[in-house]
Amino acid sequence: MKNYLYIGIGGAFGAVCRLLITRLWPSTGTVFPFGTLACNLVGCVLLGYLTYALFPRMSEQVKLMITTGFIGAFTTLSTFSMETVILLENGRTLLAFAYVVTSLIGGMGFVWLGSRLAGHDKHRGDRSNG
């Protein structure tokens, strides 16, 4: 039961942060959904960084609060998918393709960046263990 509370707290903060960012860059009435893209890429870099920099020293409850709660509410596949379909329905096929490619390749790149910012290097081993 305690885990659900941690996830709920993280989710509340993640959802509010996502709302703030998407209000700064609304996708309604614009050509490209920058707000959703920003949330997804920031979430990727956060997850990549935290996985190697802080998670080895955190409790399972705090990890759940951050990953499933905060990052889960902050990032969104459903909105990404809906915005892609809307772009396609509006005849913006090239823009939809650019959005999908930027989101996926950018997401992986930002996870990699976050892991490097945390000092993780697969050739030297996981530096979080000392």
36 is in an annotated binding site: no
> Does the annotation flag 75 for ligand binding?
yes
How many residues are given for the chain? 130
Q: What's the distance, CA 21 to chain centroid?
A: 12
Rounded (10°) CA dihedral 54, 7, 64, 1:
130
SS3 59: coil
Query: Which residues sit in the known binding site?
Result: 72, 75
The annotated binding site for Na(+) is made up of 72, 75
